[in-house]
Structure 1
């Protein structure tokens, strides 16, 4: 599987892995500033953006395999990795396997209780279904604060304060990406994230969490910290599931401060 990607900037390499949504463009609110300090490589996971879907079963393990293969094929051993949501889970899985270097995971999935996972599926799946139904009306709906508040209350702590250009690509991606449903099923029905014993990860691990995240709720941060005891936990105040939406400057600073400098 060959992943579509963009690469630009200067400095030490930094690999960005998105969650459910549009693909690498999910990083648009912060990617330019990151590229002022890093050689940024942002991938489209299989079935998102411009990368074809997997031919076999879609699982978190298979998606992580595709990123590990990309790292090997592009001679990026030891690269710092950053992921958000499903991408956050993927970069933690890579760290658990010993792949990559410093790791920053923003609001990662996989650390829920059985009840929380059931709620996650029962709330997010209908939301994605609604977005699909409203696909042609999304630019207009997201162009005003009331529409953003209605559609994005689950994803953002302050949806009315966001711009349409910030959120429209990811919301469209939820509706359009061929692998949205299969990846969601993998999150809901697949295994939870395994941890890594102290001293076994290849670099520093940082886990960032929005205090007002309604998708991967804040209590899951405690489980993530227990499973990755070497990790540093950073809280984003007044922030939902997308730090690059609600706290872009803080997210950028965290990523730059907690990844290897060239």
Structure 2
């Protein structure tokens, strides 16, 4: 087995399930669901390029380029087709992998790429402000993450109930938003300037989901229904943009739904 480019965490046994986080965080953004998923799947969770322990891309960090790295790492791990759970940019990469024939099933939570121009500008403003604020206060992230009231300002843009998130999830914004390398290039090329193509060729089960309290994505997730054949949409009631700790049981059930549909094909 050859070496991977990204840093990966692996746990559990079963069919391979890859977790892909969004911009500004790390694989620890899935801490609320990872253990439960590892009871049924072999869970593989990377830090995307430039985040956490993974080096940044030297080339333009478009969705295609980021997907190239994920696909190459899957090859290095000996994995041809995997189940995918992604959030935000990670969900967009999951759909790109599905278009390339690398997915057995996909759960895509608030995937980026279908924003209208004003929505893109708004999302860029929110993500950029979060980056700027957390860089200024990055020395306080660790102590704030240790208490529920401190997790609220750290995760307010991502969670509907940030105080319910774990310390692990909150601390992920330090190697993410506060310290991610090439953050601005990734925000521009992979989120704000990205326009999905080829989604009509996806032939695996796709479950789309978005929190009803997600005030970052607007109404973009249901727009993927018309682009992805056979996809279904599931609202996550009362959940935010990155709702892993807002609705962990529901997210796990969505993964089971998608993987069960894949077995029926």
Relative to the length of structure 2, the TM-score reads 0.89
1:152 paired to 2:155? yes
Residues 6, 159 of structure 1: CA spacing in aligned structure 2 closer, same or farther, 3 A cutoff?
closer
Question: Would you say the 8 A contact 1:196–1:228 is kept in 2?
Answer: yes
1:1-262 equivalences in 2 (<5 Å):
2-197=5-200, 200-217=201-218, 219-259=219-259
Offset of residue 147 of structure 1: 4.0
Aligned mates of 1:51, 1:153 — CA distance in 2: 25
Residues 115, 247 of structure 1: CA spacing in aligned structure 2 closer, same or farther, 3 A cutoff?
same
Runs of 5+ in structure 1 lacking a partner? none
Aligned mates of 2:33, 2:177 — CA distance in 1: 20
CA RMSD, Structure 1 to Structure 2 (Å): 2.1
Question: Would you say the 8 A contact 1:167–1:245 is kept in 2?
Answer: no
Offset of residue 235 of structure 1: 0.8
Residues 145, 39 of structure 1: CA spacing in aligned structure 2 closer, same or farther, 3 A cutoff?
closer
Aligned mates of 2:152, 2:50 — CA distance in 1: 28
Offset of residue 22 of structure 1: 3.5
Aligned mates of 2:7, 2:164 — CA distance in 1: 32
Offset of residue 146 of structure 1: 4.5
Offset of residue 137 of structure 1: 1.2
Q: Tell me, what secondary structure is at the counterpart of 2:104?
A: coil
Aligned mates of 1:60, 1:3 — CA distance in 2: 16
Aligned length: 259
Offset of residue 168 of structure 1: 2.2
Offset of residue 145 of structure 1: 4.6
Offset of residue 74 of structure 1: 2.4
Residues 7, 163 of structure 1: CA spacing in aligned structure 2 closer, same or farther, 3 A cutoff?
closer
Residues 14, 145 of structure 1: CA spacing in aligned structure 2 closer, same or farther, 3 A cutoff?
closer
Question: Would you say the 8 A contact 1:8–1:40 is kept in 2?
Answer: yes
Aligned mates of 2:14, 2:134 — CA distance in 1: 38
Question: Would you say the 8 A contact 2:209–2:236 is kept in 1?
Answer: yes
Measured against aligned partners, the alpha-carbon deviations of 1:128-184 in whole angstroms (never above 9, x if no partner) come to 100110001123334445444444332221223334343222355210121322211
Question: Would you say the 8 A contact 1:14–1:79 is kept in 2?
Answer: yes
Residues 72, 188 of structure 1: CA spacing in aligned structure 2 closer, same or farther, 3 A cutoff?
closer
